[in-house]
Amino acid sequence: MNQSILPEGKFDEEKSVLGKVDAIFFESPETFYKVIQIKITKNNFDWQEETIVATGSFADITEGVEYLFVGSLVLHPKYGKQFQVFNYQTELPSSKNGLIAYLASDSFVGIGQKTATKIVEGLGVDAIAKILADESVLNKISLSNKQKESLIDNLKANNGTQQIVIELNSFGFGSQMASAIYNKYREKTLDVLHEDPYRLAREIAGIGFKRADQIAEKVGLAADAPQRIKAGLLQGIYDICQEKGDTYTDAKQLLDQTMILLSSSRKVELLPDLLANQLLELANEGIIVAEKKRIYLRKYYESEWRIAEKIKTIKEKKLFLGNNFESNFTSLLEKVESQLGINYGKDQVKAIKDALQSKIFLLTGGPGTGKTTIINGIVAIYAALKDISLDINEYKNKQFPIILAAPTGRAAKRMNETTGLPASTIHRLLGLNSGDEVEIDEHNQLEGSLLIIDEMSMVDTALLDILMDAIPNNMQLIFVGDKDQLPSVGPGQIFADLLVCSEIPKIELKAIYRQENESSIITLAHAIKEGNLPTDFKFPRSDRSFIECHPYQIEGVVRQVVQKAVIKGFKVRDIQVLAPMYKGPAGIDRLNQMLQEILNPYLSGKKQVEFNKQYFRIGDKILHLVNSPENNVFNGDIGEIVGIITSKESKDHQESLIIDFDGNEVEFKRKDWIKIRLAYCMSIHKAQGSEFKMVILPMVQQYTRMLNRNLLYTAITRAKNFLILLGETSAYSNSVQQVAVNRKTTLVERLKNIFSQEKQNSGVEESVFEDQLEYNNHEKKYILTTALINDGKIDPMIGMKQIKP
């Protein structure tokens, strides 16, 4: 039955089905994924039924319309054999009567049998192709404007979206990625795919340069096409900045990296001069900026200037604290000390006083130096001076004037717990969504009089740029952090650079006040910060210990330590294993598998789902990897799986996880599971901004390329009560000796230029945001080669900013 073979060569050696869509069982509201039933007309494989269930990415597919589907037979564990569609196309009627019936169908409102006959007789059996190519061909057919509009709109809609999905399928994109691409570019999707596929790498998360280059090759873009070279150069700058945390690079590094990228993507030899010439073109077009042999993506160049200018503007605004500030401050400080039951040290009193008297102020210090206590004092005295009530209930219909924020959800939660006041992530404060690339004007404007940001070392250049743009000039700013912790994941070293600027008031706290039962963890952290590994660091203390072991022993030792901690009454949420790398026997991935086995083992009959080589079970500790303000969940937040909904239990036949983030339950469909991972063991970067009752820290030479003082210091300062150090002594000593390489940024230089403008009339140009790159084609032409650049015989930025050979 229904076993005739389709025309040879139509889809080379692939299984195919020709048939009408009989029913649509399921369609995802968020992607192009659908489950349909096909009534088979023809097929080229063994199938004994009249119908077959098919799954795949489809546009607005119509029941009763005939399509040609290409794919493969798959065995679903629950639903049996199905046809997994790779691609499809509408089988438009090729006969006169078939085309008349198609145009007279319900798909074309207002076009009945009579009108459809008139169209086909007037334009022929290729009427649809003629109409799509030139709408004016309908002018010779006697149709009303409404009929013309219905015909053209429906043909375009059916053909447009369908052709987009078909083409996305042909490039191998799944339903989720195809939907992301279509939602970004809509009706211009095909134009992007054919004219500039490299935009996908720059603008769609999850698509890299090589994937975009594969598409470019398919659509006929040559390996030496200027478009490809420019895309490679832009990808090169982006990759260098993301990998190293720099905000700029230089010509040699960029040209070398781009040549490797282009050559590895397509095995075609390219001349170095070709890259150098296109680099000049990018500068001439204003897409990159060149200055003093530094090469920037324009966004980072402009961000540093904007940050510097906004800081100067805010700093120079007058601040009024009342006529009797000195006497009021002393009495208010005494009142705060009495309420908190503490006595501030001299440096802490100075920090509070200086912060209150400054439009912008920086506060840095290590663990135990009292940063949190100082924030409490600043808030209390500021509120008293400004006659502000700290009772949140009084602000139901208006903005609370004191804003507290931090880069991560857990850091914001800690601010809330220690101050008793509302605190949020910076992303939520600004109304930014899901960590997407954000333009400078796409955010909330802040309202209030005082803004305090904690964990400033985690803030990168792009985020501070947006934050500063959102801050009104009359707002008072206090940035708090620990300058010795790891810098931001994104480009820049904002807090460190701001601390270098002599024009910004600041204080570094050095005296240790929080010595809970003489905490040896705090003492160890400060010794490491100063570059010393204490001789007694291996000796056991009441709050920390050291266990010597090799990489392949780490898993077994961690297992024993965790098991004993559980026996002693520690909860899963109290214990956190931290590691620098994901791979290897002592890596995060392997340790997570082992820890899940002992802390939340699989039991017969217990629900579990698999994703990306991980199993998720009810009770699992989960780490959220991105910012999702729409769900009030942020990068670094830790939750627990409290529910698993199987596809059989779900109305839309999609699996989902219910995860509880400190009382906030969020449902994650399978497509969103890429945003989460097991959190029994996590990276030190992801743990930044958090504290845990017990930290277990393995360090081995296997991690060598990651080891440095900032990393070790950050890891140790995550431990609140207990610290278990494991691994090789040499790994710890090497970490202490290895000072992290300073990132290449120019924010310090921008701040110096901005603040010195009044002292010297020279400095930066009148506007730093105009294109500063000029290329005079009438002057003598010079050939720029990589060899000349490398030999230092020519400035690679000739033609820009009036630079001549």
Q: Quick one: which of 702, 720, 705 has its CA closest to 591?
A: 702
Q: How far apart are CA 733 and CA 737, in angstroms?
A: 6
Q: Count how many residues are written for the chain.
A: 805
Q: Are the CB atoms for 276 and 226 separated by under 8 Å?
A: no
pLDDT at 462: 94
Q: What is the 8-class DSSP label of residue 446?
A: P
Span between the terminal Cα atoms of the chain, in Å: 78
CB 512 within 8 A of CB 663: no
Q: What is the mean pLDDT of residues 747-754?
A: 96
Q: For residue 656, which amino acid is it?
A: S
Lowest mean pLDDT among 60-64, 368-372, 471-475: 60-64
Burial class (CB in 10 A: 0-12, 13-18, 19+), 476: buried
By the 8 A CB rule, do 322 and 367 touch?
no
pLDDT at 442: 66
Task: Give the domain ranges of the chain.
Answer: 15-171, 196-291, 308-509, 520-737
Give the model confidence (pLDDT) of 6-30 as tens digits: 333 333 347 889 888 888 888 776 7
Of the chain, the percentage scoring pLDDT greater than 70 comes to: 89
The pTM assigned to this predicted structure is: 0.78
Order across the sheet with 638-645: list the strands: 664-669, 656-661, 638-645, 621-624, 676-678
Class of domain 520-737: alpha beta
C-alpha distances (whole Å) from 70 to each of 20, 169, 685, 805 are 14, 11, 45, 59
| 320-324, 399-403, 713-717, 720-724: the lowest-pLDDT one | 320-324
CATH code assigned to 196-291 = 1.10.10
Burial class from Cβ neighbours inside 10 Å (0-12, 13-18, 19+) for residue 751 reads: buried
Q: Rounded mean pLDDT of 731-756?
A: 93
Binding annotation: 368-372
Local structure of residue 402 (DSSP, 8 states): E
| Average pLDDT score over the chain | 85
CB 623 within 8 A of CB 678: yes
Summarised one tens digit per residue, pLDDT across range 227-286 is 999 999 999 999 999 999 999 999 999 999 999 999 999 988 899 999 999 999 999 999
Q: Determine what percent of the chain falls in helix, strand and coil, rounding each to the nearest 5.
A: 40, 20, 40
pLDDT at 477: 97
Q: How far is the C-alpha of 15 from the C-alpha of 42, rounded, in Å?
A: 11
Alpha-carbon span 606 to 720, nearest angstrom = 34
The three-class DSSP label of residue 427 is helix
For residue 639, the number of C-alpha atoms closer than 13 Å in the C-beta half-sphere is: 29
Q: Summarize the annotated binding site for ATP as residue ranges.
A: 368-372
* Domain 308-509: which CATH number of 3.30.70.3040, 3.40.50.300, 1.10.443.10, 2.60.120.260: 3.40.50.300
Q: Do domains 308-509 and 520-737 have the same CATH topology?
A: yes
**Which tokens hold the place of 361?**
């102020």
Encode pLDDT of 537-572 as tens digits.
Answer: 999 999 999 999 999 999 999 999 999 999 999 999
Helix axis angle for 272-284 and 226-244, nearest 10°, is 80
- Residues 310-326 have a mean pLDDT of 89
Sequence-distant (≥ 6) Cβ neighbours of residue 776 within 8 angstroms: 799
Q: pLDDT per residue over 767-786, tens digit each? A: 333 333 332 333 333 344 44
Kindly report which listed range (57-66, 530-539, 558-567, 619-628) carries the lowest average pLDDT score.
57-66
User: Which tokens sit at 262?
Assistant: 């282009």
